[in-house]
């Protein structure tokens, strides 16, 4: 009975390791597709109407409108080389009345992690262009997705539709009356990665996987998980059939 129990545990762990390996392969394939689609869009940079772009991102878009008075939204733990900082997003309203968050670039954080003051966005009519994409992939859901910043804006650990929706209002207002999800006037599931050639904002590029694992890393982890499964199975067989003294 004891041996059967040990075999059941070994097989359960093998199945778990194999499942983790296939999950890593799935992530690698999904990211390869994402990179291929983005590369094709960036190679042409053909303007796509917003109605079509939001249905099938990534897409290169050109938007007319104005920045809103929404508080600044910053995504924490964003790296550029060895430096750590935040990605800054500002609210934008198109002439059609649609609202979305615009990635205006990256700012380094000092050693004390004091958020730098965020100036008001440009006023008046603006013509923006860039890559319309889902927000950066979220990591493990540890801690609140959105927290109030000391300057009245927001600091996000991950960008999900609920946090993108809530961030349109200042923290004091949002905590009292949260913005209802699903507002058709907001593109809560997409952000605009601003063209680096435009003369506004901060350091930026159009690298979609700057702060996440590339496909080859996922494949490497998949091999590790499969190796764990094979090693555990080999060890179990060895212990099962070895000769007793």
In the numeric block, the tokens 């007793």 are attached to: 244
Residue closest to 233 by CA, chosen among 62, 81, 6: 6
Nearest to 57 by CA among 96, 91, 100: 100
The single residue listed with the structure tokens 């966005």 is 121
If pLDDT is split at 50, 70 and 90, which confidence band does 65 have? very high
pLDDT score, position 54: 87
Overall average pLDDT of the 114-124 stretch: 89
| Residue that the structure tokens 């496909």 belong to | 215
Q: For residue 10, is pLDDT > 90?
A: no
* pLDDT tens-digit readout, 120-168: 899 999 999 999 998 887 666 677 778 888 888 899 888 888 888 888 8
Contacts of 207 (CB under 8 A, 6+ apart): none
Distance, in Å, from the CA atom of 93 to the CA atom of 66, rounded to the nearest integer, reads 6
DSSP class of 51: H
Q: How many residues does the structure list for the chain? A: 245
């Amino acid at each position: 009975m004891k041996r059967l129990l040990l075999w059941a545990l070994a097989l359960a762990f093998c199945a778990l390791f194999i499942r983790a390996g296939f999950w890593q392969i799935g992530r690698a394939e999904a990211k390869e597709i994402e990179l291929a689609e983005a590369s094709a869009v960036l190679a042409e940079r053909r303007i796509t109407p917003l109605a079509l772009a939001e249905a099938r991102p990534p897409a290169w878009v050109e938007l007319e409108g104005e920045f809103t008075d929404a508080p600044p939204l910053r995504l924490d733990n964003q790296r550029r080389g060895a430096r750590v900082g935040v990605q800054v997003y500002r609210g934008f309203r198109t002439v059609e009345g649609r609202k979305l968050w615009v990635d205006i670039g990256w700012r380094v954080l000092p050693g004390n992690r004091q958020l730098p003051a965020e100036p008001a966005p440009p006023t008046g009519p603006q013509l923006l262009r860039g890559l319309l994409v889902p927000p950066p992939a979220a990591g493990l859901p540890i801690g609140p997705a959105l927290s109030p910043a000391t300057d009245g804006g927001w600091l996000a650990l991950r960008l999900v539709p609920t946090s993108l929706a809530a961030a349109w209002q200042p923290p004091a207002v949002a905590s009292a009356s949260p913005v209802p999800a699903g507002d058709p006037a907001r593109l809560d599931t997409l952000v605009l990665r601003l063209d680096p050639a435009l003369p506004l904002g901060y350091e930026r590029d159009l690298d979609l996987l700057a702060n996440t694992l590339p496909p080859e890393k996922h494949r490497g982890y998949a091999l590790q998980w499969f190796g764990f499964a094979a090693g555990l199975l080999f060890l179990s067989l060895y212990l099962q059939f070895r000769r007793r003294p």
